[in-house]
Amino acid sequence: MIPKRNDPIDDYPDSSEGRPPWASTGLWLTLQRFAGWVAQHELWILAAAAPFLLFPSRWTVLAFSVIVASWLCRWIAQGRLSVPTPGDAPIALLLFTTAIGLYASVDPSSSLAGLWRIVLGVAVFYGLAHGLRSEARRRWLPIVLIFCSLALALVTLIGTEWASVRLLRLPQIYEHLPRWIRDIQDQNAFHPRIMGMALATWLPIPLALLLFSRNKRQRAWAGLAVLVMGLTLLLTQSLQATVGVACAVLFLAVCWNRRFLLTVPLLLGALLLGLRMYGPQQAAKALLSLDHPLGIAVVLRLDMWSRALAMIHDMPYTGIGLDTFPVIQSQFYPGVMIGPEPHAHNLFLQLALDLGLPGLFAFLWLLVSLGYAAFNAYRKCSEPDTRALLLGAVGGAVSYVASGLLDTIWTAKPSVLLWFILGLFAAVSAAVARSDEPRASRRLPAWVHRTTPLFLLLVLLIPGLLVTRAGPALNLATVRAHKLLLSAQAGQGPSRQALSSLAEELTEVARVDVDNAHVHSLLGRVLAWQGEYAAAIEAFHTRVQIDGKNATARYDPSESLRRRLLAQGGPDQWEDTVRIYSQWTSRFPQRAEHYVLIALVRDRHQDNPRGAAAVLNSGIERGAEPQGLLLYYLETMQKPAEAAVSRIVSRLHSDKNTLLTEPRTTATLHVHGFQQRQSFSTFLLPKSYPLFMLICYTIAK
C-alpha cells in the first residue's frame, strides 16, 4: 500500500489525481512501492555507504552510486529529490566551489578524498533532513545520540596515539590504553588533538539533554555520557577542544539562565588583571618564545596564518585546491619555522584555501541560515526534549567554530560530525515549522529569502572583478604556475610552449601587481626551467628588492611582533632577509632559487661577491635544481665586466620607458666588488640606444 500525503515521513503524492495513465500500471506501482521502501530506509543505506566515502578506495564510486540511487528512489516515491531546507542554496554554492577547488588542485588524489568527504557530509545532512521527519524516529533520537556519544568516547580511548600528547606526560595512564583501532589508509592511530576536537563538537548534545530534558532516564544516561566524554577529552590534552567546550558551555549556561552573561566581563577583567600583574612584556616574551609550550603554538600559528593569508591573496577566487595546503605551503609559500603542515590551523582560513572566498561565504551563509531557522524553531517549540536537541546542536556548532579559531578538523574525517549537527538543525527545525503559518501568508516567496545572500555575493564579487585588474589574472596564473612547476620538478617535463606561455602571463601580471614578491618568484622559476637564466635572475632580484623592505614582517610575523612589543631593534634589513632565506635552504636544499636569492643579497646589496659565490657553490654541491641557474650566475660573477653590462641591459629592457622619461637615472655597476655609480642624462633617444650600450661596455672594461 502506498502511503498517503499526510504521512509525516515521506509526503508521497496522491495515488490517482494528476498522474499520466502509465503511472497507474502494476509495474509502476511495484516500482513505487520499492522506491518508497528504499526512501524509508535511506539512513541505513547511507550508514552502509559512508565508510567507503570516508576511506576512499576502488569501491567509493559504487557507494556514491548507491546514495544517488536512494535519492532517485525518493524522487520516484515522493515526486521530488529533496524536501526544502534553509541550507539548499548555500550547499549548492558550496558544492560548486568544491568543484572549482578540485580544478585548482595540484594533487588530485588528496583532493578527491576531500571531495568525497564533503559529498558524504551533504548526504548526511539531507539524509537526516528526510529520515527524521517521523515523530516516532525523533522520539528515539535522544537515546541514539547519547549512545553515539559513548561510542565516540570509546573509539577515542582505544584508537588514539596517546604518545602524541604534549602538555603532561602520564605514562601510568597512557601506557595502559590499547590501540585497537587504526586508520585503514595509513595504519596510524588517531591524533589526540583531532579526537579532542571531535569530542568537543559532540559533547554539547548530551550536555544539553542533561540540563534541559524532562525525561529522568534520558538525563541519567546523558549525565553518564557527559562524564565519560569529559574525562576522555581531558586525556587528549587538546587546548583547542577546551576552548570550544568552554564557549559551548557558556552558551548553554546563558540559555539556562541569562545571568551567566555576567561571566563574560568578569572573565575579561580577570584576564586583564592577570596580564597586568604578570607584566605585558613578560607575557609577550612567553607567548612569542620557542622555549615556552604555549609560545611554540603561538609562533607556529602566526607563521602558518601569514602563509595562508598570502595564498588567499594570490588565489582568492579558486583557492589553492582541496586538501593541498601541505604541498602548496612547502613548495611555494615556505615559512620561517614550519615544515609541511597538514592544514592552516584555522577553520576560516582553511575554507578560503580549499574553496576560495566564495566557498567561505557559502559556509558562513549555511551556518547563519540554519542558525536562524533553529532560533525560530526554538521560540515556537514547547516540547522540552526538542528544545534540548536544538540547543545541543547549536552548542556543537559553537564549539566547532570556537575551536576552529585555533585549529580545524575540516580536513579530517571527523568533519562529518559538523554535517550531522547541521542535519539535526534542518530536521528538528522543519518538524517545528510544520505547525507554522501557511506559505501563502508570507510577503515574499521562500526562494527569495534563501537566494538573497547569493545575490549579495555577486554584488560584492563583480565590482571586485572589474576594479582589481590583477585579481582574476593573478589567480589563474598562480594556479597554472603551481601545476607546471610541480610537474617540472617531478621530471615530467612540461612543454617549452606551455612554459613560454606561462612566462608571458606572469609577466603581464607582474606589470600590474608590481609589489607581489610571489609573482616575481614564480616568473623566475618558470624562466629558470626554460633555460633563460639571465631573465630568471633579474626576476629573482625583483623579489629580493620587495622582500628587503621588511622581510621579517612578511615572513616572520612572530619575531616582528616580539620586537615591536619589546621595543627592540633588529639587525640590518639585508641580514634579516638572508636569515629568512637561509631557513629555506636548510629545509629545502634541493631548490636552486633559494641559493640565488641569498647570492643576490650578498652580491648586489651587501657588496660581498665572495659570499655570494660560496652560497652558489653550496647549492651546486647539494645538487639543487635547476643546476644550470646556479652555474650561470656563478659564471657571470666570475666575469664582472660582462655581468655589469648584462645588469644594465636587463634593466633597460625592463625599464626603458623610465630611463627615457625620468630626469636622471642611476645604474649601479658591480665591478670587482666595487660599486661605481654612473649617471645618464635623459637626452638619450631610441636611435642612440646602440651607442649608449657601447659606452656602457667601455666604462665597464
List, for residues 221-272, the tens digit of each pLDDT value.
Answer: 999 999 999 999 999 999 999 999 999 999 999 998 888 988 889 989 998 8
Angstrom distance (rounded) from CA 506 to CA 519 = 7
Residue 436 CB neighbours (<10 A)? 12
Angstrom distance (rounded) from CA 416 to CA 409 = 9
Alpha carbon 565 to chain centroid, angstroms:
29
Listed in sequence order, the DSSP H helices in 601-688 are 609-621, 627-637, 640-661
Residue closest to 314 by CA, chosen among 518, 499, 511: 518
Angstrom distance (rounded) from CA 311 to CA 106 = 14
Predicted local confidence at residue 510, as pLDDT: 92
C-alpha grid cell, residue 72 = 532517485
Predicted local confidence at residue 339, as pLDDT: 77
Phi then psi for residue 351, to 5 deg, are: -65, -45
Angstrom distance (rounded) from CA 37 to CA 33 = 6
- Is 73 in contact with 38 (CB distance < 8 Å)? yes
C-alpha grid cell, residue 574 = 639585508
CA–CA distances in Å: residue 222 to residues 227, 251, 350, 423: 9, 18, 33, 21
- Is 476 in contact with 114 (CB distance < 8 Å)? no
- Residue 676 is given by DSSP the state E
User: What residues of the chain score a pLDDT lower than 70?
Assistant: 1-25, 186, 434-470, 639-701
Q: Give SS3 for 115.
A: helix
Angstrom distance (rounded) from CA 204 to CA 57 = 33
Q: Give SS3 for 687.
A: helix
Residue type, 571: P
SS3 of 18-49: CCCHHHHCHHHHHHHHHHHHHHHCHHHHHHHH
For helices 517-530 and 592-600, the axis angle rounded to 10 degrees is 120
Residues 6+ positions from 449 with CB-CB distance below 8 Å = none
- Is 371 in contact with 397 (CB distance < 8 Å)? yes
Angstrom distance (rounded) from CA 568 to CA 373 = 52
Residue type, 106: V
Q: C-alpha dihedral over 652, 609, 510, 499, to 10 degrees?
A: 100
Listed in sequence order, the DSSP H helices in 316-346 are 325-332
CA–CA distances in Å: residue 175 to residues 156, 263, 412: 15, 39, 26
Residue type, 58: R
Q: Which residues pair with 667 in a beta bridge?
A: 678
- Is 631 in contact with 625 (CB distance < 8 Å)? no
Angstrom distance (rounded) from CA 342 to CA 350 = 10
C-alpha grid cell, residue 414 = 571527523
- Is 692 in contact with 662 (CB distance < 8 Å)? no
User: How many helical (H) and strand (E) elements, i.e. helices and strands, does the chain have?
Assistant: 31, 2
Predicted local confidence at residue 449, as pLDDT: 57
Residues 6+ positions from 52 with CB-CB distance below 8 Å = 59, 60, 62, 63
Q: Which residues pair with 676 in a beta bridge?
A: 669
Predicted local confidence at residue 667, as pLDDT: 34
Residue 379 CB neighbours (<10 A)? 9
DSSP 633-653: HHHHHTSHHHHHHHHHHHHHH
Predicted local confidence at residue 441, as pLDDT: 45
- The full length of the chain comes to 701
Residue the block writes with cell 557559502: 362
Alpha carbon 294 to chain centroid, angstroms:
23
Diameter over CA atoms, the chain? 100
CA-based radius of gyration for the chain: 31
Phi then psi for residue 401, to 5 deg, are: -70, -40
Residue type, 272: L
Q: Give SS3 for 665.
A: strand
Handedness of CA 647, 653, 655, 658 (dihedral sign): positive
SS3 of 59-73: CHHHHHHHHHHHHHH
CA–CA distances in Å: residue 184 to residues 115, 166, 199, 253, 489: 18, 25, 21, 39, 30
Residue 638 CB neighbours (<10 A)? 10
- Residue 190 is given by DSSP the state B
Q: Supply the pTM of this predicted model.
A: 0.86
Predicted local confidence at residue 134, as pLDDT: 79
Predicted local confidence at residue 29, as pLDDT: 81
Burial class (CB in 10 A: 0-12, 13-18, 19+), 443: exposed
Angstrom distance (rounded) from CA 125 to CA 422 = 6
C-alpha grid cell, residue 498 = 606551455
- Is 352 in contact with 100 (CB distance < 8 Å)? no
- Is 58 in contact with 69 (CB distance < 8 Å)? no
C-alpha grid cell, residue 670 = 658591480
Residue closest to 196 by CA, chosen among 162, 161, 156: 156
Angstrom distance (rounded) from CA 585 to CA 606 = 19
Predicted local confidence at residue 48, as pLDDT: 94
Angstrom distance (rounded) from CA 341 to CA 325 = 7
Angstrom distance (rounded) from CA 68 to CA 52 = 14
Predicted local confidence at residue 682, as pLDDT: 34
C-alpha grid cell, residue 82 = 529533496
- Is 35 in contact with 45 (CB distance < 8 Å)? no
Residue closest to 526 by CA, chosen among 502, 497, 545, 509: 502
Residue closest to 616 by CA, chosen among 596, 602, 601: 596
